[in-house]
Chain A
């Protein structure tokens, strides 16, 4: 369904799907929210067609990333 691309168009970067953890090429990935370190996170493009998987997968991912951000903040404050 979706075709994902970046500049340069044929960028060889492989990424990981946050829902099924499979390695994916950017032309088969959809950008969603961000990782705790501010990097762009991606999911396989076909997951968006499954409403439940898409919603729950990203909701779980976001909460994990928030927990990582909070724990990094606490460690920083403790130091």
Chain B
């Protein structure tokens, strides 16, 4: 636990969404908030396929923020949206095989992550057993967040408690 705030060191966000469309929509809406604070991993069964879907959704989000930017006269809101557009355009998405030092958002399977890979946020879109989840949690930086679309096994809480 973090003694100064009594907030836990990890945040586990369990999303009860099932269809691939809902998951990619939710993920692409939430991702800009988390990408702003540190590296992100998206764990998928077919990372390259999900990468392509999220990239498409990302373009839609950028167009949407640009539309909101053009529609507002509120000075602070306009500045906030301008910076949001800049940020959204600056992120580098990549599958593991094509990652570069500039990659902020990495698409991978759980097994293919390297030992030294650390992320502020991991999005989990595939079901993993608790024995696969525990090593994945080691890739989360302190005060980082795991967003899971595939539930959370009770065995893990038992192990942690």
Q: Real complex partners, A and B?
A: yes
Question: Judging by beta carbons under 8 Å apart, are B15 and A3 in contact?
Answer: yes
List the A side residues contacting B6 at CB < 8 Å. 13
Q: Verify if B92 is at the interface (C-beta below 8 Å from A).
A: no
User: Taking the complex as formed, is A2 at the interface, i.e. its CB lies under 8 A from any CB of chain B?
Assistant: yes
- Residue B133 at the A interface, CB < 8 A? no
Chain A residue contacts of B80, Cβ below 8 A? 56, 59-60, 62-63
Number of interface residues of B (CB under 8 A): 39
Q: List residues of A (7-62) whose CB comes within 8 Å of B's CBs.
A: 7-9, 11, 13, 30-34, 39-40, 48, 51-52, 54-56, 58-60, 62
Q: Are B143 and A62 in touch, CB under 8 angstroms?
A: no
**A6: Cβ under 8 A from any B Cβ:** yes
B56 to A: closest C-beta gap in Å: 16
* Contact assessment for A6 and B10 in the assembled complex, using a CB-CB cutoff below 8 Å: yes
**Contact assessment for A40 and B7 in the assembled complex, using a CB-CB cutoff below 8 Å:** yes
Q: Among the listed B11, B12, B29, B77, which residue makes an inter-chain contact with A60, where contact means beta carbons less than 8 Å apart?
A: B77
A30 is contacted by which of B13, B68, B143 (Cβ under 8 Å)? Answer: B13
Given contacts A48-B29, A56-B68, A59-B84, contact A40 B11 (CB under 8 A): yes
CB distance from B20 to the nearest CB of A (A): 16
Q: Which residues on B sit within 8 Å (CB–CB) of A51?
A: 29, 64
A2 to B22, CA, bound (A): 12
Is A1 in the interface zone, CB < 8 Å from B? yes
Known: A48-B30, A54-B29, A56-B80. A2 touches B11 (CB 8 A): no
> Is B157 interfacial (CB 8 A cutoff)?
yes
A33 with B7: CB separation less than 8 A = no
Nearest to B151 among chain A residues (CB) is A3
In the complex, chain B residues 30-87 whose Cβ is within 8 Å of any chain A Cβ = 30, 32-34, 36-37, 61, 64-65, 68, 72, 76-77, 79-81, 83-84
Which B residues form the contact surface with A (CB < 8 A)?
5-17, 26, 29-30, 32-34, 36-37, 61, 64-65, 68, 72, 76-77, 79-81, 83-84, 143, 145, 152, 157, 160-161
